[in-house]
Amino acid sequence: MPRLSHLNSRTMSADIVFHSLAALAYAILGVALWRPLIKNGPQAKTGHIQRVCLLGAIVLHAIAVERAVLHGGHLHLGWALALSVAIWLGMIVFWLESLAQRIDGLLLILLPAATLVTVLAALFPHTHLIDHANNEWLRTHLIIAFIAYGLITIAALQAMLMAMLDRYLHRPVEQAEHRSGISRALESLPPLLVQEHILFRLIWFGFIMLTLTIITGSIVSLGISHAILPMDHKTIFTLLAWITFGVLLLGRYARGWRGRQALRWTLVGFAFVMLAYTGSRFVLDVILQRG
């Protein structure tokens, strides 16, 4: 994986403004989705206007990501920016998937997550300049890695939503007048079997992209440092994530793994992906305040 060099803190820039605007747009859409449920009403359906508004928020987010990653004509990354890119790609995946089937329920957790991540990207704009940015294989590797990151992020959010629904279905039946907004939101979701099908499709695509990430990363490392797999923390956690998802898919089709077992493996794999870059950079940049 490419080494990142320190970049001085930037002043207020366009990516901060657009990240703030994207956060506001996601927050407004989230409030519009949650408000009827909190007021004991039915879940608002995502119609044509709402879908266009969501696309507008994704475009604002895209501008923020483009300005931050390509700041000054160079490639930059940071822990908050990596999260932002992942959730942005995840929003694109959701938007395209929603054209084929009704998965509005995922927005109940996706919009708050997107709001939080874009706020973090605006509050922590500190990034690092990526060495060897003119290397075409490196650029290809980064694109594939972020696509994998985005797909796995959406899969993890889907797993969290399924875990909430599974826990809710095993609780005693609540009286209608005592049901919370979250209860009504969970009741409006598609059946668990439908959501499980969506989850494993995301995991399959994420696993394929993660495999390509490892292959392209090896090519980059071989060309730069003459090592196929440098044993740094990014490589180790990426390999652990790849193994986790590989075992999950093998268990799914060989032994019929599903339900809570599948959800646990998904969240463990997502944790490894997070630790591969975002977690370590968060510790260095925020907790230890080191570049």
Hey, what amino acid is at 73?
G
Residue 174: predicted pLDDT: 53
Residue 109: predicted pLDDT: 84
d(CA 81, CA 71) in angstroms, rounded, equals 12
Three-class SS of residue 77? Answer: strand
DSSP state of 75: -
Residue 224: predicted pLDDT: 76
**E-state strands within the chain:** 4-6, 76-77, 128-130
**Sign, Cα dihedral of 80, 208, 59, 138:** positive
Using CA atoms in the order 270, 273, 279, 280, what is the torsion angle rounded to 10 degrees?
Answer: 160
pLDDT, tens digit, 9 for 90 and up, residues 55-93: 999 999 999 998 888 776 677 778 788 889 889 988 888
pLDDT, tens digit, 9 for 90 and up, residues 168-212: 776 655 544 445 556 666 766 777 787 888 888 889 999 999 999
d(CA 61, CA 67) in angstroms, rounded, equals 10
Residue 164: predicted pLDDT: 81
pLDDT in tens, the chain (291 residues): 444 444 444 444 888 899 999 999 999 998 888 877 776 655 556 667 788 899 999 999 999 998 888 776 677 778 788 889 889 988 888 888 777 777 777 788 889 999 999 999 999 888 777 766 677 788 888 888 888 888 898 888 888 888 887 787 766 555 444 455 566 667 667 777 878 888 888 899 999 999 999 999 888 888 777 777 777 778 888 899 999 999 999 998 888 888 788 888 999 999 898 888 765 555 555 544 554
Beta-sheet pairing, 4-6 with 128-130: antiparallel
Residue 165: predicted pLDDT: 79
Residue 43: predicted pLDDT: 59
Residue 20: predicted pLDDT: 94
d(CA 144, CA 78) in angstroms, rounded, equals 17
Three-class SS of residue 154? Answer: helix
Residue 179: predicted pLDDT: 55
Residue 181: predicted pLDDT: 56
Residue 7: predicted pLDDT: 42
Query: What's the gap between Cα 281 and its chain centre?
Result: 17
For the chain, counts of helices (H) and of strands (E): 10, 3
Contacts with 134 (C-beta within 8 Å, 6 or more apart), sequence order: none
Contacts with 87 (C-beta within 8 Å, 6 or more apart), sequence order: 113, 114, 117, 118, 150, 153
User: Of 284, 232, 257, 210, which Cα lies nearest the Cα of 6?
Assistant: 284
Three-class SS of residue 19? Answer: helix
Query: What's the gap between Cα 193 and its chain centre?
Result: 22
Place of tokens 């009286």: 175
Hey, what amino acid is at 235?
T
d(CA 278, CA 4) in angstroms, rounded, equals 13
3-state secondary structure 85-139: HHHHHHHHHHHHHHCCCCCHHHHHHHHHHHHHHHHHHHHCCCCEEECCCCCHHHH
pTM: 0.78
Place of tokens 């279905």: 169
Count of Cβ atoms closer than 10 Å to residue 176 Cβ: 9
